[in-house]
Structure 1
Amino acid sequence: MRALLMLLCLIPGLMISSAIAQTEAQPSQAESGTDINIAWGPRVESEIFEYSTGGNTYQGYLARNANDDTPRPAVLVVHEWWGLDAYARARADQLAALGFVALAVDMYGEGRTAAHPDQAGEFSSRVMQDWPAARARLEAAMSQLRDHPAVADTGMAAIGYCFGGGIVMNMALSGMPIEAAISFHGSPTQAVRTPQEFEGVVRIHNGGADSLVTREALTSMASTLKAQGADVEVINYPDALHSFTNPDADTVAEEFGLPLGYDAAADAASWQATLLTLDRALNQ
């Protein structure tokens, strides 16, 4: 019914430090009659990653570089209010290609997704109104992820989009064990009743023209996080609307009459900044 949000390709020309972009090359091969060595780049493989809590089963999406035998840092990807769709999986694939083990989590259970904004709003509101249950889902995913042989024991980070951005901000606000929480056009709704100390990094990438996020709510969330010890920075992108990182935002906006819009410049800038943040937080 609705074209699922999908990122079609990696941002071209992105430069990142070798710590992030590590790929284990297979044995170099010299072309016949030349001295040119050819190494293999990343080979992203994915799998359904099931975890359970509260009697319910959740179906995440795990992506990693199969050409790399060295354990790597893990990053959680929290989906938009639509659920764990193609867009969230594509972001996980990107992170895997850049040297992380990425888990796109399932916040709704059984991998369900919404086909209409009304249904998406119902699903997301239900999660945000019961933060202890939401936290339990995230903790179950993180606990199982730590046991994966491809994951290094160097800490985790979390990134999230729209609804997912709100989730990762609340992860930091509740003192969950992550090194960085990075939100893209996230909803700054405080779901945590009693904020806890958090000494990690919080980066909030926000559309300067986003009518769905008020300046007051954004400032309140950032101030509360800073008061708990977080290294907080809010980056506003001029003229960018809600969902500015998603190439299919314009199509969804037209279909449902929503104030969304893709902004290629803001998408590229926020993604590059995120990779640098992850490098500092997880690769020392």
Structure 2
Amino acid sequence: MKTVIITLALIMVTQLSAQLKTVDYSDGTQKLTGFSIAPAKKSAQSMGILILPAWMGIDDHSKEVAQKLATEGHYAFVADIYGADKKPADTKKAGELSGYYKSNYEEYQRRIKLALDKLVKSGANKDKIVVIGYCFGGTGALEATRGGLPVQAVVSFHGGLGKDEKRGNGAIKPKVLILHGADDPYVPQKDIEAFQKEMRDAKADWQMVYYANAVHAFTEKKAGNDNSKGAAYNEKADKRSWEHFMVLLDELNK
């Protein structure tokens, strides 16, 4: 019986994984490769979710999130920000690449918009789009709304909140949900205060949820469990942040 159950589970995982499709697109001469997945059964509640990966680029975690969203009945697309031939080999290169796009935010916004177009082309309703991001991708989720991209909401999972002070604060139309580790050492208090002022200045519909004993990368199982390193997995924060995300999707569908 145990063997049968394991076999069935493996079949289900294989079927789920098979739904994730490689999508080639481009930004000028730069080739990009993202991943798309559609729900097995779409409904009026189906949303289109754009996933912006962490600083190492498209990884297993971002693909797993896409698959999970499809089982929840949503379309999902994992964006390629760096380029098909530019995936960082190590954290040093990841820091250089993510730093470039944080500084050149208009290029980041353009890469996000290109991925959004592919999400809609995959079948998602253009009027029911949400951008979510992890770490560096969380910064990108905020850039989506700062850039005025046509989305209903943006969600940042342990993402960076800062931006160049010279940019000023503009209109923020989408709902904004920030899911933040209370002990995250990589997001300084000044960035938190500046972000909150930005939201207040814009009279935005925003939420910021703190998770106790959680540091950076609290959704990433491969980050380990040692909070002293500044980045570590936290099962409780991972589950709670997903639940808060689901609540937002339910709210958008009302």
Same topology, TM > 0.5: yes
1:78 to 49, 52, 62: 52
SS of the equivalent of 2:245 reads: helix
Post-superposition Cα deviations, 1:110-154, rounded to whole Å, max 9, x if no partner, equal 164323221110110111111111111111121232222x32243
| Cα distance change on mapping 1:237 and 1:73 into 2, 3 Å | same
1:179 to 119, 135, 152: 152
Mapped to 1, the partners of 2:170 and 2:50 lie a distance apart of: 20
Post-superposition Cα deviations, 1:4-59, rounded to whole Å, max 9, x if no partner, equal xxxxxxxxxxxxxxxxxxxxxxxxxxxxxxxxxxxxxx956110122222321211
- C-alpha contact (below 8 Å) 1:174/1:196 kept by paired residues: no
2:143 to 142, 167, 170: 170
Matches within 5 A, 1:53-68: 53-65=27-39, 67-68=40-41
Q: CA RMSD in A?
A: 2.2
| Cα distance change on mapping 1:237 and 1:70 into 2, 3 Å | closer
Post-superposition Cα deviations, 1:55-92, rounded to whole Å, max 9, x if no partner, equal 21211111222x32558321111000011111111111
Question: Match for residue 248 of structure 2?
Answer: 277
Question: Match for residue 228 of structure 1?
Answer: 202
- C-alpha contact (below 8 Å) 1:185/1:206 kept by paired residues: yes
> Which runs of 5 or more structure 1 residues have no equivalent in the other structure?
1-41
Mapped to 2, the partners of 1:237 and 1:135 lie a distance apart of: 28
Displacement, 1:199? 2.1
Question: Match for residue 62 of structure 2?
Answer: 88
- C-alpha contact (below 8 Å) 1:52/1:137 kept by paired residues: no
| Cα distance change on mapping 1:260 and 1:69 into 2, 3 Å | closer
Q: Which has the larger radius of gyration?
A: 1
Name the structure, 1 or 2, with higher relative contact order (CA <8 Å, separation 6+): 1
Question: Match for residue 238 of structure 1?
Answer: 212
Displacement, 1:194? 5.2
- C-alpha contact (below 8 Å) 1:173/1:225 kept by paired residues: no
| Cα distance change on mapping 1:268 and 1:69 into 2, 3 Å | closer
2:130 to 157, 160, 185: 157
Question: Match for residue 232 of structure 2?
Answer: 261
SS of the equivalent of 2:127 reads: strand
1:205 to 158, 166, 179: 179
SS of the equivalent of 1:265 reads: helix
Post-superposition Cα deviations, 1:199-218, rounded to whole Å, max 9, x if no partner, equal 22111111111111112201
Amino acid corresponding to residue 127 of structure 2 in structure 1:
T
| Cα distance change on mapping 1:43 and 1:110 into 2, 3 Å | closer
- C-alpha contact (below 8 Å) 2:109/2:143 kept by paired residues: no
Amino acid corresponding to residue 29 of structure 2 in structure 1:
G
Amino acid corresponding to residue 160 of structure 2 in structure 1:
S
- C-alpha contact (below 8 Å) 1:75/1:101 kept by paired residues: yes
Mapped to 1, the partners of 2:136 and 2:155 lie a distance apart of: 12
1:146 to 99, 117, 120: 120
- C-alpha contact (below 8 Å) 2:69/2:76 kept by paired residues: yes
Q: Which has the higher helix share?
A: 2
So what's the TM-score if we normalise by structure 2? Answer: 0.85
Displacement, 1:238? 1.2
1:117 to 76, 79, 91: 91
Count the aligned residue pairs.
Answer: 237
Amino acid corresponding to residue 162 of structure 2 in structure 1:
T
| Cα distance change on mapping 1:230 and 1:178 into 2, 3 Å | same
Amino acid corresponding to residue 145 of structure 1 in structure 2:
L
Q: Are 1:188 and 2:153 an aligned pair? A: no
User: Which is further off, 126-135 or 111-120?
Assistant: 111-120
Question: Match for residue 5 of structure 2?
Answer: none
SS of the equivalent of 2:214 reads: coil
Amino acid corresponding to residue 162 of structure 1 in structure 2:
C
- C-alpha contact (below 8 Å) 1:244/1:262 kept by paired residues: yes
Displacement, 1:176? 1.6
> Which runs of 5 or more structure 2 residues have no equivalent in the other structure?
1-14
